[in-house]
Structure 1
Amino acid sequence: MTENMSAAPQPSADRPEFPEGYGLPETTEGLLTWPEVEARLGAAKHYWLASVRPDGRPHSVPRWGVWLDGRFYYDGAPTTRHVRNVEANPYVTLTLESGTQVVIVDGLSAATRADPDGLGARLAAAFAKYHDDDYRPAADAWSGADGGGLRVIMPERVLAWTSFPTDCTRFRF
């Protein structure tokens, strides 16, 4: 995948499908907005990434990354378990740490790269939230032929809530 991806689509919002008895409202009143969910994705420092091993067993790993332009960018060596998993099966789930301020992103992970004068500069600026942890990638960190291990998750579906079940919201892309 190259840096010339089109702008991320804006999602539609509705209620998720939960089993009867969960108390999900029957109307769309009180749904979360995409800008407020995106703000939480952007502000987060720690994320959990779940992938599937080639033998079908799940794998979950904490990740650092940035939400930018409607996508999640992170990097990792091609030899790591999660990168080997997504090379075989690109479907992933990304979540925030909280079990009450919930954001669950289902999507596809793909290798990509970033030109230092464009996306690379914007990614390096976004990764500033990790400077206190001594992680300071330069704008050219992801510009090589292998993209420096840069990956992008393109969301297909996002579930979010802050006050279960009243504001449970599903976003579809």
Structure 2
Amino acid sequence: MTSTEPVTELDPRFSDPTATATSWARARDGLAAAPLYWLSTVRPDGRPHTTPLIAVWLEGALHFCTGADERKNRNLEGNPHCTLTTGSNELDAGLDLVVEGDAVRVRDEGRLRRIAEAYVAKYGEDWRFSVRDNAFHHGDGGTALVYEVTPRTAFGFAKGTYGQTRWRF
């Protein structure tokens, strides 16, 4: 993955007159540091499905894993469009982030090993995975498929001095 600098725009309709656009660097740091994310996918009948999960930012994309029989995986097999969100539950402080893109299954074992190491670096030894057969494997015998979401569009919602920034890639 190569790093791409997006077009950054502040939307004055939803921003304080004194707000400035949030930099992509700040947003990227927020995506990398967040402990928890919410993944939204689309069910086969068109209804939304949202679930919390952990993820890592690596090589210009968010990466998460899921079991093959889980609803989010079944949804993504039929429709890769998704959003990942993270942020702060504070009303007047923080930065909420929304990443829109397509979830693409990661199968390259070299990349999977880098992603697995990123999980350990961020979340600790309880999240150590081995890599084989194009998937993550956990000590308890569980197998997880790994997806990456490269941002197509992202939004930042600054709070305190409210500002809505859009990044287009």
Normalising by structure 1, what TM-score? 0.79
Q: How does 1:23-172 map to 2 (within 5 A)?
A: 23-25=15-17, 30-100=20-90, 101-116=95-110, 119-128=111-120, 129-131=122-124, 134-138=126-130, 141=131, 143-145=132-134, 148-163=144-159, 166-172=162-168
What is the DSSP-based 3-state SS (H/G/I as helix, E as strand, rest coil) of the residue aligned with 1:10? coil
Q: Report the CA distance shift for 1:17/1:153 in structure 2 as closer, same or farther (over 3 A).
A: farther
In structure 2, the CA distance between the partners of 1:87 and 1:8, relative to structure 1 (3 Å rule), is farther
Query: 1:168 deviation in Å?
Result: 1.9
TM-score by structure 2 length?
Answer: 0.81
Q: Match of 2:20, as an amino acid?
A: G
Structure 1 counterpart of 2:45, one-letter code: D
What root-mean-square deviation, in Å, do the aligned CA atoms of Structure 1 and Structure 2 show?
2.3
- The amino acid that maps onto 1:114 is D
Question: Residues 109 and 17 (structure 1 numbering): CA distance in 2 closer, same or farther, change over 3 Å?
Answer: farther
**Does the Cα contact within 8 Å between 1:8 and 1:71 map onto a contact in 2?**
no
Q: Which has the higher strand share?
A: 2
Q: What per-residue deviation string (whole Å, max 9, x for no partner) do you get for residues 53-97 of structure 1? A: 011111000111101111011111121101111111111010014
What CA distance in whole angstroms lies between the structure 1 residues aligned with 2:76 and 2:54? 17
- Segments of 5+ residues of structure 2 without an aligned counterpart are 137-143
Aligned-pair identity in percent equals 31
SS at match of 2:46: coil
* Structure 1 residue 136 displacement after superposition: 1.2
Note closer, same or farther for the CA distance 1:104–1:165 as it changes in structure 2 (3 Å cut): farther
- How far apart, CA to CA, are the structure 2 residues paired with 1:99 and 1:169? 18
Segments of structure 1 that go 5 or more residues without pairing to the other structure are 1-5
Could you say if the C-alpha distance between residues 17 and 42 of structure 1 is closer, same or farther in structure 2, counting changes exceeding 3 Å?
Answer: same
**How many residues are paired up?**
157
Which whole-Å deviations, capped at 9, do the CAs of 1:123-153 have from their partners, x for residues lacking one?
2221122226x22123xx2x52457501111
Q: Hey, what's the Cα distance between the residues in 2 that align with 1:87 and 1:17?
A: 37
